[in-house]
Amino acid sequence: MADDLTTTADTLLRRAVDGGPRIPGVVAIATDRHGAIFQGAAGVRALGQDAAMTVDTVLAMFSTTKAVAATAVLQLVEDGRLDLDAPAKRYAPAIGAAQVLDGFDAAGQPLLRAPRRDITTRMLLLHTAGFAYDSFNADYARLVREHGQVPTGTGRRVSLDVPLLFDPGERWEYGCSIDWAGQVVEAITGRRLGEVMQTRIFDPLGMTSTAFALNEAMRARLARVHQRRADGSLTPLLSFELPPDPEVHMGGHGLYSTAEDYCRFIRMWLNDGMGPGGPVLTPETVRAAEKNGLGALKIRGLPAVAPARTNDAEFFPGMAKSWAMSFMVNDADAPTGRPAGSLAWAGLANLYYWIDRRNGVGGFWAAQVFPFADAACMAAYLDFETAVYDSRGRSAAA
């Protein structure tokens, strides 16, 4: 079974970097509860350069950061220091200033009003607080374009001072909620989010190449983000990096890491919160966090408001999907073989992962390509996930 998966997955990776439209470099790891059952890479870290993509290549992780930040939040709940259902302004007072955007007046000025209820940290983890992203929401894009709103990608504290799109708790909207959750962690602990993650997550899991800032050893293994053009060609963005010394450690998108490190994090979730250095979360917390937290609400596809950064994006169109803390949950068995109730999400530069706790298997597939939901990248990722389940006789979906 392992030999079959290795042969198939290696072929898929080579096809991804040699085909058309090609992907510059890709890394993929599948893991069970004990360790990697496949790991491989193909292509290069940057077009025009010789350095090969490898399983220890350092990547800008974008929104795959979110689950790590949520883990730090859940640890504080376990400690008795955070009540998920208390107003988040109890811990991070600045969030209490957020108002609801009720459109724009005839002169193009934002119409704002007070929210009908307080934002809670649970809402932040579930993306029901009312925050959005300018890449996926036209009103937020208008605030950036016409009113000087600072985008969250800058790493500046002022970028979090954005209005809500609706009253907290009323619907699901993907946005900067986990950045605010990181602010809750910092307020409670009195430490920067990266420091909390280092001592409570990275060290116990042996994640030695994960941080909000690149050190020398990480920079030497860094892959570069590429821009896909309309004709399918790729341009390496050699000067693009996440802010090197961000004012705010953005829990929603700011980490650098490797496929190897991220699969250590995935294994912790597969193993009921246990890592090689001891427990990171309790089994009770993991079981609570993996459940759909939206009730009857469902998540929706993400529209391409900023075409240079994202295409229209949706996993398994037509399938109902929910949200846990902080993962997408597929409500039915997926065509790849992933069973209902599994956890997953992605990062803006076409990074994807899944966590199937029922069967004890998960995986991470990553490129460094804009825009998000690149057709070649997403197809290659889904082919890889399918190959993992096919190698198991699709018993996982039975």
Query: What pLDDT does residue 1 have?
Result: 56
Quick check: is 63 catalytic?
Answer: yes
**Structural domain contains residue 316:** yes
Instruction: Please compute the mean of the pLDDT values over residues 364-382 and round it to a whole number.
Output: 98
Instruction: Judge if 31 and 91 occupy the same domain.
Output: no
Buried/exposed 177-206: b ≥16 CB within 10 Å, e otherwise: bbbbbbbbbbbbbeebbbebbbebbbebbe
State the amino acid at position 315 in one-letter form.
F
Average pLDDT of the chain, as a whole number: 96
Task: Tell me if 114 is assigned to some domain.
Answer: yes
Do 231 and 380 belong together in one domain? yes
203 and 128 fall within a common domain:
no
**Catalytic annotation, pick one of 63, 159, 322, 391:** 63
In a domain, 307, yes or no: yes
The torsion region of residue 316 among left (phi > 0), alpha (psi -120 to 50) and beta comes to: left
**Which residues have a Cβ under 8 Å from the Cβ of 7 and sit 6 or more positions away?**
none
Q: What percent of the chain has pLDDT over 90?
A: 96
Is residue 99 located within the same domain as residue 181?
Answer: yes
- Percent of the chain residues topping a pLDDT of 70: 98
One domain, residues 300 and 371: yes
Residue 102 in any domain: the answer is yes
Instruction: Label the pairing between strands 321-323 and 278-279.
Output: unpaired
pLDDT tens string 125-137: 999 999 999 999 9
Q: Sorting pLDDT into bands at 50, 70 and 90, what band is 398?
A: very low
pLDDT at 396: 41
**With bands split at pLDDT 50, 70 and 90, how would you rate the model's confidence at 3?**
confident
Quick check: is 178 in a domain? Answer: yes
Q: Say whether both 51 and 146 belong to one domain.
A: no
71 located within any domain: no
Kindly state whether residues 225 and 133 are assigned to the same domain.
no
325 inside domain = yes
How far apart (Å, rounded) are the C-alpha atoms in residues 300 and 172? 8
- Examine residue 41 and state whether it is found in any structural domain, yes or no: yes
User: How many domains would you assign to the chain?
Assistant: 2
- In a shared domain, residues 52 and 110: no
- 115 lies in which domain range? 76-187
| Domain endpoint, select from 134, 156, 187 | 187
DSSP 8-class letter at 199: I
Catalytic residue among 66, 91, 177, 262: 66
pTM confidence score: 0.97
Same domain (yes/no): 86, 112: yes
Residue 157 sits in the same domain as residue 202:
no
pLDDT in tens, 295-334: 999 999 999 999 999 999 999 999 999 999 999 999 999 9
Same domain, 208 and 303: yes
Does residue 32 carry a pLDDT above 80? yes
In three-state secondary structure terms, 68 is helix
- Distance between CA atoms of residues 357 and 362, nearest Å: 8
Domain boundary among 150, 166, 187: 187
Residue 352 a catalytic site member: no
Q: Which of 137, 160, 187 is the last residue of a domain?
A: 187
pLDDT reading at 189 higher than 70: yes
Catalytic residue (one of 91, 140, 174, 389): 174
pLDDT at site 301: 97
- Judgement on whether residues 229 and 335 belong to the same structural domain of the protein: yes
User: What is the CATH number for 6?
Assistant: 3.40.710.10
| Residue 43 backbone phi and psi in degrees, to 5 | 80, -160
Integer distance in angstroms from the first to the last C-alpha of the chain?
18
